[in-house]
Amino acid sequence: MRSSRWTVPLLSVLFVPLWASGFIAGKIATQHMEVPTVLLWRFVIAAVAMGAVAAVMRPALPRGSAWIHLAVTALLLQVGQFSAVYTGLANGVPAGLSSLILGMAPLLVGLLTPLLLSTKLGPAPVFGLVIGAAGVYVVLSDELGGGISSAVVFPVLGMLSLTAGTLYQKRFNEDTPVVTSVIVQMLTSLVVTAVAMPFLGAAWLPSDAGGWASVVWLGIFNSAGAFALMFLLLRWRSTVHVSALLNLVPATTALIAVPVLGEVLTVQALLGLGIALVGMYVGLGMVRRRRKKPDPEPVATGS
């Protein structure tokens, strides 16, 4: 599966708000139901949505150890990340602070990529990631002024799961069709969550329309949609590309929260968004490419 010239920019533009919407919908969902119920229906709806896509596209099935790698990725990217983040939200951790902590994952991914994968980083991507992280901090720095309970450990665990899952997906699932990768991960996560439900004492169904609406969004758009885009971008570009895009998520979350959650748009959000945009611009190597554009010889870029 190859990308055209405009495919990656378009998918990148779609990816950021879809990923950011997970914090908004997750905040709403945890106000209507317990965390295991949120996870269960997120995975049910995502599995059904991707199953319909798979029925049309008929992607190849994983072979051999690919099943195990997909299951491990599911435990990290899906169960680990979202159970930790939603537990933090349910225990009073602000959505903004959760977004800030998860925003540190791109920096870790970018710095660990040369150590764990074959990708080589020049100074520009690393510098861009640092600028993006500074933008993340500026956006939500006011969240750090209040009291922070021990529940902050949950989004930290979610951030570590996201970091590990992103690297694992890039290292071991590159040859698996995207649709196959997403649906196997959702089904794996669904099975794990369903098995755990009787021991967690949570309700099996959302109790009201608000709960259903939030898990439908999480399942279709933030789960199936956002992760499909993420895996495509990891395949066509690199972990650095995805990391630079994820740097924009906290600022984007702050912007979405204005009309949806009624939160006030602060000066920090606008300033941080601008800094994060600069970080993405530098981290993706756009400055270097524009400078070398007049050269007659094509310049090879890592992916």
- pLDDT one-digit tens code per residue, 216-274: 999 899 888 888 888 888 878 777 778 778 778 887 887 787 888 776 677 777 787 78
Residue among 150, 155, 132 at smallest CA distance from 276: 132
Q: How many CB atoms lie within 10 A of CB 61?
A: 12
Confirm whether 113 is domain-assigned.
yes
- Per-residue model confidence (pLDDT) at position 4: 64
- Per-residue model confidence (pLDDT) at position 300: 37
Confirm whether 97 is domain-assigned.
yes
- Per-residue model confidence (pLDDT) at position 145: 54
Confidence category of residue 5, pLDDT binned at 50, 70, 90: confident
Report DSSP state, residue 5: T
Q: Compute the average pLDDT of residues 26-54.
A: 92
Q: Compute the average pLDDT of residues 72-77.
A: 94
300 compared with 63, residue with greater pLDDT: 63
User: What residues make up the domain containing 68?
Assistant: 7-292
146-195 confidence digits (pLDDT tens): 555 678 899 999 999 999 998 898 888 877 888 888 899 999 999 999 99
Confirm whether 128 is domain-assigned.
yes
Confirm whether 60 is domain-assigned.
yes
Confirm whether 2 is domain-assigned.
no
Specify the number of domains making up the chain: 1
Q: Compute the average pLDDT of residues 140-146.
A: 58
Confirm whether 253 is domain-assigned.
yes
Residue 36 clears pLDDT 50, i.e. is over it: yes
Least confident of 103-112, 219-228, 254-263, 277-286: 277-286
With a CB cutoff of 8 Å and minimum separation 6, the contacts of 115 are none
The stretches of the chain forming alpha helices (DSSP H) are 7-32, 35-57, 66-73, 81-90, 95-102, 105-116, 123-140, 153-172, 178-200, 209-217, 226-236, 239-246, 249-261, 267-283, 286-292
184-208 confidence digits (pLDDT tens): 999 999 999 999 999 999 999 998 9
> How high is the mean pLDDT of the chain?
81
Give the span between the Cα atoms of 95 and 123, in whole angstroms.
32
- CA atoms within a 13 Å half-sphere pointing along the CA-CB vector of 3: 16
| Amino acid letter, 285 | G
* Integer CA distances (angstroms), 60 to 1, 55, 230, in order: 13, 11, 19
Longest dimension (CA), the chain: 66
Residue among 38, 41, 47 at smallest CA distance from 227: 47
- Per-residue model confidence (pLDDT) at position 213: 94
